[in-house]
Chains A and B, each alone.
Chain A
Amino acid sequence: MNFGFTEEQNLLKDQVQRFMKEACPMTRVREISASENAFDKDLWQQAADLGWLGLTIPESYGGLGLKWIDLIVVLEAAAEGLSPLPIASHALATSAIVACASEEQKARWLPAMASGAAVVTLGLYDEANWIDPAAITATATTAGGKVSLKGKKPFVNDALAADYLLLAVQGPDGLALAAVGRDQVQVAAQPTIDSTKPMASVDLSGAAIDAADLLPLSPAQLAFLTDCGGVATTAEMVGAGAAVLSMTSTYAKERIQFGKPIGQYQGVKHRLADMFVDLESYRSLCYFAAWAVDDSPEELAKAVSMAKGYASDAFAQIGIDGVGLHGAIGFTADYDAQLYLKRSKWARPMYGDSDYHMDRIATLGGL
């Protein structure tokens, strides 16, 4: 039993934090978010060269062959600076291919994903905030040696930045993932209040793909990938939550009111302490869930629901208090605290809100 990170993992964390500070500071994050497709190809290539995009890709396909517990080190540290790079989406697509694809398909896709040449994202459900195989209504039907797709997926993460998309459909033999190039489908930006997490709707209708681009997807694999999404989102919530707490805590030490730093008043300091308690708690739950992805899959569902169920509401409150404890300055567009509040709104329903996860904890706990 050892619940700590290795020396290598700590070095990786330092590396990502340095990268965010030097190559992708908040001014750059704001620029990227405001740009067309909200994507920076150069930064993406740098991330690839550092090995981050192939962390969980097997070595035989050009990756590093590491685990989700290594991946979340990157996700957490990148989210401290609200990285707009589609690393989480790319990693989820990686897990989908590793879990569902044939050897031929893996050999075709994974090396380009590890090298950064191809950006890939994953779109699972067609109804916002409904996690169930029934929420997949897009279809794939076989006709004349081709597979034709129909349906529309809303709010697919990073769809505009992606070169390829893996989209869940009801296929001829049950659930499947359809691999499509971005040019094969209609992708339209769907702006939300969080511009650092660009999303788009994907209209599949009229697209035709080869049978070799269809991956069978069992309900268990669908659940597994959804849970991986929950882990990735929660890891980002750990990083972003820590950053906004640190920003707010620093401000409370410096801001003088009534002759004292506001952090000296218990109304402020106790709220900061509560933020820390929640952050520490969903951090621990997140690390356990990330470990479970590879090392204890039978515990994954409950572990994810604990982590994401906790983080969804806690990070939302941390976002609100991060802005609120700053007073009016926190409310301004120029100040960065507001960007974290927006990220907390984005993260809250992603891969299940607290109602979904709490109910699943109850079920898995015997109720």
Chain B
Amino acid sequence: MDFDYTPREQSFREEVRDFITENLPPKEKRDKNFLATWLEKVRAKGWVGFAWPKEFGGSDGGLMEQAILKEEMSLAKAPPLGTSMMGLAWVGPGIMEYGTEEQKQKFIPDILDSKVTWCTGYSEPNHGSDLAAIQCKAELQGDHYVGNGQEIWTTGAPWSQWIILLTRTDFNVTSKHDGITCFLVPMDAPGVEVRPIQNMAGDKHFAEIFFTDVQVPVENRLGAEGEGWKVTVSALANERSSIGEVTQLQAKLDDLKELVKNSKRQGKPATEDPKVRRTVAKFEMKISAMKYNGLRYLTKQIKGEPLTSETSVNKLHRASLEIEMDDFAIELSGQAGLQLKGGEEAVDNGTWSKGALNWPNVVIGGGTPNIQRNIIAERILGQPKD
């Protein structure tokens, strides 16, 4: 056991820090071309798809270096390393694992170059957590499939150009996990209709999508017919390791501590209030637990030991922390904490109040807390399925 970084890891960290110092101006000094320039530069560095194989345009980066890169980037509150978030997180890896040579050449470069944004069609009106109970139908007719059905809660659908879509190609199966097929579908295909849904924070990040006789060429099928569940499970494994970033929570905690230092409770400094101190300490403790859990699991991965579902542990921590930290900040600020961005008394420009309405983004996507508990109880502790 050794928590010191090797000289190679340390020098990589220095390289990332130097890059950030050189290329990340403070927010107020960023012009409108900043993001495009930033994306070009990180791409040139090979840091987009950093862990991907070189043959696909990645850098073959090690897991530890990848963790360092993410850690430094989020400590600096840098913009993302690519705008195709789901493309980088699981669509790309899915295509690299299951895609045809043609698909790899067609889709991977655009993900790395932030040219194409992907969304993910996994949820249907009657099937959210019960992912495998898919009803959206695809039928082979000659050289193409015809898709009919509806997706919902699809994050990013209003601005995505492509969707990775789960469909059912066979309804006569004994196990619901059979007969599922995965497709890559352009959002501008005839018969695809996107209706944005406003969430409780006032944003329109997600949408429902209607598919009416949408023709999808056979070459856009990802993996074999009926193999969709396998493709999805491996994609979601990517999601669970890519969600749950500790550094973002650490940055949020730093902001929260600043707020505490500038707040009063009943006329006295909030820093002296035992409940405030204990609450902040609990956040710090849980974030640290996530950090060391993450490093322990990372070590297992590097050693080639199989990870079962341990990452669900951090996902549960993150779910409760996201909600509790925003709520605590609001409580600390009294009524002013309730104002959103632009409000006369809004605290930290409404960051906390917005967060208090936006937590389902991180808490529900990728499996609700109760699903994570099922995963832990069944896959790790061996309890019988519901």
Residues of A within 8 A of B (CB): 1-6, 9, 69, 245, 249, 252-253, 260-261, 263-264, 266, 268-270, 272-274, 276-277, 280-282, 284-285, 287-288, 291, 295-296, 305-306, 309-310, 355, 357-359, 361-362, 365-367
Q: State the CA gap A285–B4 with chains docked (Å).
A: 16
CB pair B383 A284 closer than 8 Å: no
Per-residue A-contact encoding for B264-295, CB less than 8 Å = 1, 0 else? 00000001001011101110111011101101
Chain B hits for A272, CB < 8 A: 376-377, 381, 383
Q: Which of A264, A284, A359 has the most CB of B within 10 A?
A: A284
CB pair B284 A365 closer than 8 Å: yes
Query: Which chain A residue has the least Cβ–Cβ distance from B316?
Result: A277
CB-CB under 8 A for A273 and B381, given A1-B2, A288-B292, A295-B3? yes
CB-CB under 8 A for A281 and B1, given A270-B377, A272-B377? no
CB pair B313 A281 closer than 8 Å: yes
CB-CB under 8 A for A3 and B299, given A266-B370, A295-B3? yes
Q: State the CA gap A309–B280 with chains docked (Å).
A: 13
CB pair A362 B281 closer than 8 Å: yes
CB pair B277 A3 closer than 8 Å: no
CB pair B281 A365 closer than 8 Å: yes
CB-CB under 8 A for A281 and B289, given A3-B296, A359-B278, A367-B277? yes
CB pair A359 B281 closer than 8 Å: yes
CB pair B381 A281 closer than 8 Å: no
CB-CB under 8 A for A273 and B303, given A284-B292, A365-B280, A365-B284? no
CB pair B313 A276 closer than 8 Å: yes
CB pair A261 B271 closer than 8 Å: no
CB pair A296 B3 closer than 8 Å: yes
Q: How far is the CB of A183 from chain B (nearest CB, A)?
A: 41
Query: Which chain A residue has the least Cβ–Cβ distance from B285?
Result: A306
Instruction: For the complex of A and B, list the 9 residue pairs with the smallest distance between their C-beta atoms, beginning with the closest.
Output: A284-B292, A281-B289, A269-B377, A263-B383, A361-B281, A362-B277, A273-B373, A273-B376, A358-B281
Query: Which chain A residue has the least Cβ–Cβ distance from B2?
Result: A2
CB pair B377 A263 closer than 8 Å: yes
Q: State the CA gap A280–B282 with chains docked (Å).
A: 16
Q: State the CA gap A356–B363 with chains docked (Å).
A: 31
CB pair A358 B278 closer than 8 Å: yes
CB pair B383 A252 closer than 8 Å: yes
Q: Which of B13-29 contact A (CB under 8 A)?
A: none
Q: State the CA gap A203–B127 with chains docked (Å).
A: 69
CB pair A274 B373 closer than 8 Å: yes
Q: How far is the CB of B306 from chain A (nearest CB, A)?
A: 14
Per-residue A-contact encoding for B365-376, CB less than 8 Å = 1, 0 else? 000001011101
Q: State the CA gap A187–B261 with chains docked (Å).
A: 49
Chain A hits for B382, CB < 8 A: 249, 253
CB pair B3 A276 closer than 8 Å: no
CB-CB under 8 A for A309 and B281, given A274-B373, A285-B289? yes
Chain B hits for A276, CB < 8 A: 313, 376-377, 380-381
Chain B hits for A280, CB < 8 A: 293, 310, 313
CB-CB under 8 A for A4 and B6, given A253-B384, A272-B381, A272-B383? no
CB pair A4 B380 closer than 8 Å: no
Q: How far is the CB of B261 from chain A (nearest CB, A)?
A: 7
CB pair B386 A365 closer than 8 Å: no
**What size tier do the contact residues of chain B reach?**
35 or more
Q: How far is the CB of A68 from chain B (nearest CB, A)?
A: 11
Residue B298 CB within 8 A of the other chain? yes
Query: Which chain A residue has the least Cβ–Cβ distance from B289?
Result: A281
Chain B hits for A288, CB < 8 A: 3, 288, 292
Interface of B is mostly: helix
CB pair B260 A367 closer than 8 Å: yes
CB pair B257 A367 closer than 8 Å: yes
Query: Which chain B residue has the least Cβ–Cβ distance from A363?
Result: B277
Query: Which chain A residue has the least Cβ–Cβ distance from B377?
Result: A269
List 6 other contacts, CB 8 Å, given A1-B4, A273-B372. Answer: A4-B303, A263-B384, A281-B286, A306-B285, A306-B288, A367-B280
Task: From A2, A274, A362, A366, give the contact of B278 (CB < 8 A).
Answer: A362
Residue B9 CB within 8 A of the other chain? yes
CB-CB under 8 A for A277 and B257, given A310-B285, A362-B280? no
Task: From B282, B288, B383, give the contact of A285 (CB < 8 A).
Answer: B288
Chain B hits for A310, CB < 8 A: 285-286, 289
Query: Which chain A residue has the least Cβ–Cβ distance from B288?
Result: A306
Q: Which of B145-203 contact A (CB under 8 A)?
A: none
Q: State the CA gap A288–B290 with chains docked (Å).
A: 12
CB pair A359 B277 closer than 8 Å: yes
Residue B300 CB within 8 A of the other chain? yes
Query: Which chain B residue has the least Cβ–Cβ distance from A280?
Result: B313
Query: Which chain A residue has the least Cβ–Cβ distance from B315?
Result: A277
Residue B30 CB within 8 A of the other chain? no
Task: From B9, B293, B316, give the contact of A1 (CB < 8 A).
Answer: B9
Chain A hits for B281, CB < 8 A: 309, 357-359, 361-362, 365
Task: From B298, B372, B381, B384, give the contact of A3 (CB < 8 A).
Answer: B298
CB-CB under 8 A for A266 and B374, given A276-B380, A359-B274, A366-B257? yes
Chain A hits for B285, CB < 8 A: 285, 305-306, 309-310, 358, 361
Q: State the CA gap A277–B313 with chains docked (Å).
A: 5
Q: State the CA gap A41–B370 with chains docked (Å).
A: 49
Chain B hits for A284, CB < 8 A: 289, 292-293, 295-296
Q: State the CA gap A280–B376 with chains docked (Å).
A: 12
Residue B385 CB within 8 A of the other chain? yes
Task: From A5, A285, A362, give the contact of B1 (CB < 8 A).
Answer: A5
Query: Which chain A residue has the least Cβ–Cβ distance from B302?
Result: A2
CB pair B292 A249 closer than 8 Å: no
Chain B hits for A270, CB < 8 A: 370, 373-374, 377
Chain B hits for A366, CB < 8 A: 257, 261
Q: State the CA gap A285–B2 with chains docked (Å).
A: 14
Chain A hits for B316, CB < 8 A: 277
Residue B317 CB within 8 A of the other chain? yes
Residue B378 CB within 8 A of the other chain? yes
Chain B hits for A273, CB < 8 A: 372-374, 376-377, 381
Chain B hits for A253, CB < 8 A: 382-384
CB pair A355 B278 closer than 8 Å: yes
Residue B64 CB within 8 A of the other chain? yes
Chain A hits for B282, CB < 8 A: 358
Q: Which of B286, B378, B383 has the most CB of A within 10 A?
A: B383
Chain B hits for A266, CB < 8 A: 370, 373-374, 386
CB-CB under 8 A for A287 and B384, given A306-B285, A359-B281? no
